[in-house]
Chain A
Amino acid sequence: MKTGSILFLSPTRIALATIGMIVLGIALAPAQKEDPAGRKNRLADAALAEVPAKASARSNPFEGDAEVVAAGGKLFEQHCSDCHGKKGGGTRHGVSLLREEVQQATPGTLFWIVTNGVVRHGMPVWSKLPEPERWQIVSFVESLKSRPIKSEAGQSQPGNPPSPKPAFP
């Protein structure tokens, strides 16, 4: 009944076009990925600086709750560790969260970044996680400063002195 068309879109052509688009995406990506870590950190700092003052002023409703930190650790491993490393030390896809600039950020700032992402530089939005879960992740990230952790690359992290007392068991 509707045989024939303007465009002949065979499965092979669709597959080839898809592969072409993906290759194009990957070809464009190294512009970000192959930049030195310093640029990545500068972009992260710029993102932190862009957070509205009202959002930065928000306080963490779960402040000081050890169970929340543990739950946040679970969520971090599920959703964040692929890019930021299992211990937050960073990978070539995501900045280290152990950096002083991140650890000195207010809970509200971190919450805003988790919620809105940094889409133009590759971090997706995470508002699909309910608000309490995002605060749980923030609690975990804040707890990293008091943990004796080395980055995934094996470098020690300035501004994160080892603590004799872990933030949670």
Chain B
Amino acid sequence: MFAHVILKPALRKFACAIFFLTLFLSLLSCRSSWAQESPYIVTYDHYLEEPGSLEVEYFSTFGTQRGGNDFDAFWAEFEYGVTAWWTTEVYVAGQTTFHDSTIFTGTRWENRFRLLQREHVVNPVLYIEFENTNGADKILKEVEGHDVESDFADPNGESRKEHDHELELKLLLSSTFKGWNVAVNPIATKNLLPSEPWEFAYAIGASRPLALKASPRRCSFCPENFIAGVEMYGGLGDTESAGLHDTSHYLAPVVAWNLPSDWTVRLSSGFGLNDNSHRLLLRWGLSREFAGFGELLEHFLGGRR
């Protein structure tokens, strides 16, 4: 009965509005916290959110589209450090296709689990994500299987009719040495329809701060506040047709700017590496970390003050 009530669309929208309003008001009372964010937008390294901290992120991807209209896909992420070895994250995504429309494209729920307690040469993290999206989703957070540019050319009115419920698994392998981080993410995705095959993909990245030693003063333009790198990502086919044919691939220089005001700005310009790829994926992101969000939740839930 409860499930029946909460699934009514009007109530669902109201509940969502109340949820985000409460979240926003809660964040006003949290102190922000400096975050040393990696510049990657697609690739993941092995670093998780600090326990009790909530990171709120907004990202946008402008993509060129041959055979259709260019688009701007955007998403918000709410990333919470439950423990030092478990981070959970919710995504809400939408997109605007120019000369077409702006639509909501779905939600994702992501969990990352650190598998080893100490640092090693290579550090594995298990990534599990559930996606509830429609066919108009264009955030290109990962490029899977035989995803190609022409898949994104349909008008929103058509593509939004398709509904995808997917399970996505990644093994995040990451290593940090002498300031350099190198991350490799093998990816496997399964549409939960039994008839759909497993799809495969990859994302790799390397990055380094512009300076390895901090200066004593607070500054916006100190080189240690900038982390630059490059990432590459693309599809590897599926269980029915593995391989690089009919796949798309991107190479993207990336940079993160960690500001003393606790904001982080990320930029990435992804260039398609073959004819199946969008020519350009221009991405930017803005994020801020709020420490003490866990304490706030505890107080709200009647925990210890």
Residues of A within 8 A of B (CB): 1-12, 14-18, 21-23, 25-26, 29-30, 33-34, 67, 70-75, 78-79, 82, 93, 115-125, 127-133, 136
Contact = CB atoms under 8 A, between A and B. Distances in A.
Nearest to A25: B82
B175 to A, nearest CB: 10
Contacts of B48: 124
Interface in B141-192: 161-165, 176, 178-179, 181, 191-192
B193 interface: yes
Interface in B11-29: 12, 15-16, 19
B216 A70 contact: yes
Contacts of B80: 22
B213 A130 contact: yes
Given A3-B162, A82-B291, A125-B84, 6 more contacts: A6-B165, A12-B12, A22-B82, A29-B294, A93-B51, A119-B114
Contacts of A136: 213-214
A71 B297 contact: no
A74 B224 contact: no
A9 B165 CA distance: 7
A25 B178 contact: no
A128 B181 CA distance: 8
B132 interface: yes
B6 A12 contact: yes
Contact of B132 (A11, A67, A127): A11
Tell which of A1, A82, A120, A121 has the most Cβ of chain B within 10 Å: A82
Contact of A2 (B52, B84, B196, B303): B196
Given A11-B132, A127-B176, A22 B88 contact: yes
Majority SS of interface residues in chain A?
A: helix
Interface in B287-304: 291-292, 294, 297-298, 301, 303-304
B163 A5 contact: yes
Nearest to A6: B192
A82 B292 contact: yes
A23 B301 contact: yes
B231 interface: no
7 contacts: A9-B130, A11-B12, A14-B90, A29-B83, A71-B215, A78-B34, A119-B118
Interface in B46-91: 47-48, 50-53, 80-86, 88, 90
B135 interface: yes
Given A12-B15, A30-B303, A130 B209 contact: yes
A26 B303 contact: yes
B7 interface: yes
B132 A10 contact: yes
Contact of B109 (A4, A14, A34, A127): A14
A4 B193 contact: yes
Given A3-B162, A11-B16, A124-B48, A21 B114 contact: no
A24 B213 CA distance: 39
A73 B303 CA distance: 32
Contacts of A12: 6-7, 12, 15-16
A14 B132 contact: yes
A159 B227 CA distance: 40
A132 B213 contact: yes
B163 A74 contact: no
A121 to B, nearest CB: 8
A120 B117 contact: yes
A18 B109 CA distance: 8
